[in-house]
Each structure stands twice: as C-alpha cells, then as structure tokens.
Amino acid sequence: MANDAKDAVTLRDVARAAGVHPGTASRALNDSTRSLVRPETVERVVAAAGTLGYRPNYLARSFKTHQTRSVGVVIPDIANPLFPPMVLGVEDRLTAEGYVTVLANTQNDARRRERIFAEMLERHVDGLIVATAQREDPALVTLAHSGVAVVLVNRIVEDRSFSSASVDDAAGVRAVVNHLVGLGHERIAHVAGPQSMSTGYARRQGFLASMRSAGRPVDPDLVVAADSFTIEEGERRAASILGRAALAPTAIVAGNDMLALGCYSALEQAGLRCPEDVSVVGFNDMPFIDRLNPPLTTVRIPHYELGAQAAQLLVDQLHQPDVPLKVLLLVPSLVVRGSTAPARAPVQVG
Amino acid sequence: MANDAKDAVTLRDVARAAGVHPGTASRALNDSTRSLVRPETVERVVAAAGTLGYRPNYLARSFKTHQTRSVGVVIPDIANPLFPPMVLGVEDRLTAEGYVTVLANTQNDARRRERIFAEMLERHVDGLIVATAQREDPALVTLAHSGVAVVLVNRIVEDRSFSSASVDDAAGVRAVVNHLVGLGHERIAHVAGPQSMSTGYARRQGFLASMRSAGRPVDPDLVVAADSFTIEEGERRAASILGRAALAPTAIVAGNDMLALGCYSALEQAGLRCPEDVSVVGFNDMPFIDRLNPPLTTVRIPHYELGAQAAQLLVDQLHQPDVPLKVLLLVPSLVVRGSTAPARAPVQVG
DNA sequence: CTGAAAGCGCTTACAG
DNA sequence: CTGAAAGCGCTTACAG
C-alpha cells in the first residue's frame, strides 16, 4: 500500500535543500517569474527540485491561482461518429498546451446541458469548447458572461458573440446541388436538420438559394426539417416526403450523414433503390460512411482540424484575454460516391 | 464583464449570516458531518446558504481533502467506434455519482500512455478507468501501487490484480466457430488481434480450442496475428493468408470488427467475394457495422454496459477502499448477418 | 453540540 | 534579487 502522496516533496523541501526561501523557490520554478531570480539561484533550485523529484501540487496551485489548466468539452452526442475525431483534435491541441480535457455529453438534452455547464463552472475549468450551440442560445450567453472563455465548434450562435471554428455550410450544400443538377436531377428533396441549429438552418438556406440559382423550382412538399440529427428522424422525415408527393424525388439532400442513413432506410421501406431510383447525399463524411451500402456521396469536413482549431482559438483567448473574437470558417468539399447517379424518370409512388 | 468568482460567497459569509462559526457551517453543510450538528443549527445554516446562493469552492475543498471527485478514462483510440459507447456508459454512471470524467486517449502509444498516467496522478484524479491494459503491464501495476484506484475495462491484465469489466472472449469465439462449422466450413482462417492484449490472446486461444472441439484441424498457415486492431493491419494479415495458402479459406474469423473490415478489403483486392467465396466474422458489433456492405456477422458485446459496470466498480472501490477485487465477465452473443454463408468449395488462389 | 485554531501547499504583493 | 508574511477557502482534530 503506497501512502497516496502523503509523503510528497513540497516546495518547502526544495527551498530548504537549495538554501533559499520557499517564495524564491516558487519564483525560480515558474516560467513567468523565473526572470526575477538570479540565474545561479535558479540553477540551484532546479537542481534541488530534480534530485528530490519535486512535483508541484496542482491542487494547491489551482486553489491559489484560480486556474486549473483544464478545459471542458461539451458535445451533443458522443455516439455520433462526427464527434470523436473532433474531440481528438481538441484533445491533441489542448494536451500539447498543457491543458486537460474534461469531456461531457449532453445527449441533446437542454436540462442536462445546463447541469453540465454549472458543474464545469464549479470545477473552475479555464475554458469551454462547446459543440452544442443553438442559433439563439441564452444559456450560452449567460455562461460567457460568467467569465469563462468559451469557443464554439461546428455549430455557431447567430449573434456572433463567440469565437468559433465551423464549416461553410452553404458552400457545401451548393456543391451538392450543383452535383445533382449536373446529373440531370430536377425533383430534388431536402431532409433538413433542426432549424434551431446553425448547421440545420444554414444548409437549408443554402439548399434553397442554390436551387434558385440553378433555376430549379423547389417543390415545398419536398422540403422538411428533422427535429434532431438522428437516423430515426431521417427515416421518419424521408418517409413523410415519399408518402406525401405523388412523384418521388429523384434525389434527396440530407442535412447530414445520420439523416442520410435514415433516408436509406425510408427508401428501402418504400421499395426504392439507391441510387437507381433515388440518389442520396449526406453532409460530414463521418467515419465509415464510405463503406456503407451504397457508399454515401457527402460533403467532407475536416473533423480533426475543426477540433484542433477550436482548441487553438481557446488557448489564444486564455493566454491573451483581450484577443479579438475570431470566426473561422473551414471550406468543405464534395466527395462523390455510389449513392448518387444520373437522374432517371421519377418513380410513381403513393 | 462579470468578475470571475472574485465576489463569490464563501463559507464565512454563510457562517456570519447564520450566526455560527465557519467550522460549524462546514459541518452542517457536509453529509458526513451533518449528524454532529444540532438540527436547528443545520437548518439555519442551510437556509443562509440558500439565500446567499452559496456554492462550495471545489478547489479549496480538493486542496484540503486531496479528493477531486474526478476520474480519468484512458482509451487506446477514440476513433475506434467501439469506445464512444463505452465512454458514454462510464460517463453516465460517473456523472450520476458526482464525478467528472477526464478523458485521454493514448493512440496506442506506450510513451503517450505513460505521460497520461503521470498527468492524471498530478491532477489527483480519484481513480482511473483504463481500457488500454496489456496482458503484462508493469506500468499499470506501478500506477496502482501509487495509490489511485484503477479499474480495467474491456481488456485485462493477466495476473488479475485489478477489478475489471470485460467480456467472455472465448465464449464469443466459440459461438463464431460453431456457427461457421454449422454452415459446413472446413478451412477456417483466423486473423487474430495483438497477442500482447487479453482480447487478442483470448480470442485466438478460444479459436484454437473451439476448432479442436469441433474436430476441425487448424492449418497453421491460416492463423496469423495482427500488430494492432486496425483496418490496415487486418488487410495486411488477411492478404498474407490469401497469398500464402494454395487454397483460400472459406471463412475468416477476425479478431475484431476493425480487422474484419481489413479482411473485406483484402478479399476485394484478391478478387474474392464476401460471403459467396469467403465468409467473414468480426467481434464487437461496433456501431454502423450492420450497415456495411455486406453487413458483418459479429459478436455483440454490451459496450455501454461495459463502461457503466466499470464505472460502478470504481465508484464502489472509492467509497469503500477495502472492497475485494471483482472480475466481471459479460456474456457476448453472436449476431448473424450477410457476411457469412454456407461453405462452398474453397477457391483456388495464388 | 460548537468554537477557536491550525494547516493543506502554494503564489505574490510588500519590504528591504 | 531575496526574504518574511499573508492568504486563497476550506476541513478537522482539539478543547470545552
């Protein structure tokens, strides 16, 4: 039974060994104060710390300085394969900067999110990386007012009062629509994501704008919005389109890959083939989506990079509190796979 | 600009408002010491805390008590879809118990893992849930000797000196072999996982034993072990089997789903079809594996439950330090999908 | 049952 | 450049 760290070496021990006052030892050992100490003294202290195997007590330091060198990462759904690579990017960057990652997942539940925010504050995280922003998000604004540094990733708040790393959603959808139009599609449906989130909203707006630019009239019966970015919602909404329209669409633009998977299911239920009868496109290019049946045409976004950039924004903010807000928009690219094919005559349904 | 928590309500404020000494206020507010205080006094203190909106300073408490109510979760590869649901299970359980989850990922790198362990200790996490155990793992043993509570998940250390939640690997593989034998397969290959990990090892042992029981001779040319649980390694090892044997196997048992995906690739490279020419079976039933082309027959393990159980074991250990070691073995089940089919005559290769 | 006091291990104005 | 001292906000033996 090792005795925890009861017998740990403290700063006093180091000071004694080096023949200096604890205050001096502290200054010698800290980057920001080292310059205040005579080089020879620094050397002596560092040597003493080395031989004694001194490890500063983070708890004491945090207690004193109110900094924990920890960052909370709040995601909506850890089971959505979009997020793990993003978290990985965050974690890599944060670890490199000496921060620790406290992960929490809201399960798309607002109450749960509130609790997480409160707890993160109580834990005195130095900052937060939030992937659960709503277009209007009073809770998040309140949080930021409490003084913690907050950076948004993937989704953004509309008033742009946060630094963020996200993706040019409209550009992504434009590429999708152009691709489908190029394949001769006329009746193009959209299963949009939740309109309360910037991603769901911007992609839908982008869809409507691109269709207009391409001179394709949008049949209102072919545009629906899901309540969440889940397979189930995708299936349900796609089914409603297929059930409502007399003519099936020849292509469906899904708000993201999860919704696209739902579209696959709905098509199968309706006895329609993808891509022979209906093309489907997703958004995100999440892991393994290229190995599906059929492989999904989708918009590739740099998951890892998104996380890493968000982390960098936060670190910058922590190191220099008056740094200006920065909105980073990464450019996505279309990846064409087997789920899209040239348009044929629309299938009669219903 | 809200002033951080500079103006926070402290225990002294509560004590003053309630007309008691801070020590008494502390005792009144803590579950374990409340019984020492007269009920009316407790009431007064609690009321004062309520009106003042007192929130205890965790940092001060942690500093004093050496407990942080935080738990480190160490996984080998966040990009492996097996782990997110496991982490979710851990997190749910831990959150419910008032602990915070500090996530770190080793990327299968021993050096990185060492650094993570050291950092977790410096952060004074109360315990660790480790998904990166090796069959022989001196680093982990050292860690446990330092006094932190450690619980293993998924993989175990052979000397059984840790509590753990894992899966009966041998039983899982037995079900696989029986399934294949039932389909008439004779030439069954095994692309095993790393033999330095309990999962890779136990499944391989289980494979050999089950084949023996089933009266199927094992062709040594058809059994190889991968260096890591990755798609690339799976492809490489499966290719080596296909390249070496004069007769292709009619089925491949992969050490896990990632390796099975690699087998898919290798078969495709070799111009062989799955399942028509060669059946493939995985292990883990990781998310989305049922939507692949073809859907993978695999061994289902309760990912979420595994994480939740490990978390519970840890919490038990933290609440009662002398709790006996507990090795929990969850029972997996075979899920038959499109990647396995009745045996045909083996295909001539090379 | 409650108060008074010490102390956890640091950091940081304040002197000198 | 360094020392002496205060103090961060709690918890917990120790008295009474």
Region for residue B284 given its phi and psi (left: phi exceeds 0; alpha: psi -120 to 50; beta: otherwise): left
CB contact residues (below 8 A), chain B span 85-124, against chain A: 85, 87-88, 91, 95, 100-105, 119, 122-124
Instruction: Sort strands A251-254 and A279-281 into parallel, antiparallel or unpaired.
Output: parallel
Q: Is residue B349 part of a domain?
A: no
The residue of chain B nearest to residue A71, with distances taken between CA atoms, is B102
Buried b vs exposed e over A231-267: b needs ≥16 C-beta within 10 Å?
Answer: bebbbbbbbebbeebebbbbbbbbbbbbbbbbbbbbb
Q: Is residue A346 part of a domain?
A: no
Boundary (domain end) residue, out of B301, B320, B343: B301
For residue B161, count CB atoms less than 10 angstroms from its CB and return exposed for 0-12, middle for 13-18, buried for 19 or more.
middle
B179 with B286, same domain: the answer is yes
CA of B313 to C1' of D8 (A): 35
* pLDDT-derived band at A8, boundaries 50, 70, 90: confident
Q: Is residue B345 part of a domain?
A: no
Asked if pLDDT for residue B347 goes beyond 80, the answer is no
CB contact under 8 A, A4 and B91: no
B78 touches chain A (CB under 8 A): yes
Q: Is residue A109 part of a domain?
A: yes
Displacement of CA A33 from its chain's centroid (Å): 36
Asked if pLDDT for residue B211 goes beyond 60, the answer is yes
Q: What is the pLDDT of residues B301-332, one digit of tens each?
A: 999 999 999 999 999 999 887 899 999 999 99
CB contact under 8 A, A147 and B84: no
* pLDDT-derived band at A5, boundaries 50, 70, 90: very low
Is any atom of strand C within 7 angstroms of residue B81's beta carbon?
A: no
B180 with B197, same domain: the answer is yes
Q: What is the pLDDT of residues B146-159, one digit of tens each?
A: 889 999 999 999 99
For the segment 26-55 of chain A, residues whose CB is within 7 A of strand C? 26-27, 29-30, 32-33, 54
B17 with B48, same domain: the answer is yes
The rounded mean pLDDT for chain A is 93
User: What's the pTM value of the predicted model, to 2 decimals?
Assistant: 0.91
A201 with A159, same domain: the answer is no
CB contact under 8 A, B81 and A81: yes
CB contact residues (below 8 A), chain A span 144-173, against chain B: 145-147
B183 with B142, same domain: the answer is no
Q: Which two tokens stand for residue A195?
A: 């309109």
CB contact under 8 A, A2 and B146: yes
Is any atom of strand D within 7 angstroms of residue B62's beta carbon?
A: no
CB contact under 8 A, A60 and B58: no
Q: Which of B87, B85, B168, B157 is nearest to B129 (CA)?
A: B87
Neighbours of A36 (CB within 10 A): 11
B250 with B294, same domain: the answer is yes
CA of B112 to C1' of D5 (A): 42
DSSP sequence for B182-205: HTT--SEEEEE--TTSHHHHHHHH
* pLDDT-derived band at B245, boundaries 50, 70, 90: confident
Q: Which residue is nearest to nucleotide C12 (CA to C1')?
A: A23
CATH of residue B23: 1.10.260.40
Q: Which nucleotides of C are covered by protein (CB under 7 A)?
A: 1-13
Q: Is residue A337 part of a domain?
A: no
Q: Is residue B187 part of a domain?
A: yes
Query: What's the rounded Cα separation, in Å, for the pair A200 and A178?
Result: 19
Buried b vs exposed e over A178-211: b needs ≥16 C-beta within 10 Å?
Answer: ebbbebebebbbbbbbbeebbbbbbbbebbbebb
B179 with B251, same domain: the answer is yes
Is any atom of strand D within 7 angstroms of residue B244's beta carbon?
A: no
CA of B125 to C1' of D13 (A): 26
B35 with B46, same domain: the answer is yes
The rounded mean pLDDT for chain B is 93
Q: Which of B72, B156, B87, B76 is nearest to B121 (CA)?
A: B72
Average pLDDT over residues A323-334: 96
A333 touches chain B (CB under 8 A): no
The residue of chain B nearest to residue A288, with distances taken between CA atoms, is B288
Phi, psi of B309 (to 5 degrees): -65, -40
* pLDDT-derived band at B345, boundaries 50, 70, 90: confident
Q: Are A340 and A333 in contact (CB under 8 A)?
A: no
Share of chain B above pLDDT 90, in %: 87
Of residues A55, A59, A147, nearest to B62 (C-beta): A59
Identify the residue among B7, B125, B291 best suited for mutation to test binding to A, counting A beta carbons within 10 A and taking the highest: B291
Of residues A79, A123, A287, nearest to B100 (C-beta): A123
What is the pLDDT at residue A347?
A: 63
CB contact under 8 A, A103 and B104: no
Q: Which amino acid makes up residue B349?
A: V
Q: Is residue A349 part of a domain?
A: no
Domain residues for the domain of A49 are 5-56
Q: What is the pLDDT of residues A80-125, one digit of tens each?
A: 899 999 999 999 999 999 899 999 999 999 999 999 999 999 899 9
A159 with A306, same domain: the answer is yes
CB contact under 8 A, B63 and A68: no
Between A40 and B349, whose confidence is greater?
Answer: A40
B294 with B315, same domain: the answer is no
CATH of residue A280: 3.40.50.2300
What is the pLDDT at residue A244?
A: 86
Q: Is residue A29 part of a domain?
A: yes
Number of structural domains found in chain B: 3
B176 with B278, same domain: the answer is yes
Using alpha carbons, list the distances in angstroms from residue A72 to A86, A152, A204, B158. Answer: 14, 12, 30, 35
B174 with B276, same domain: the answer is yes
Q: Which two tokens stand for residue A215?
A: 């001179």
CB contact under 8 A, B58 and A124: yes
B62 touches chain A (CB under 8 A): yes
* pLDDT-derived band at A299, boundaries 50, 70, 90: very high
* pLDDT-derived band at A7, boundaries 50, 70, 90: low
Q: What is the pLDDT of residues B67-77, one digit of tens each?
A: 999 999 999 98
Asked if pLDDT for residue B348 goes beyond 70, the answer is no
Q: Which residues of A touch B101 (CB under 8 A)?
A: 102-104
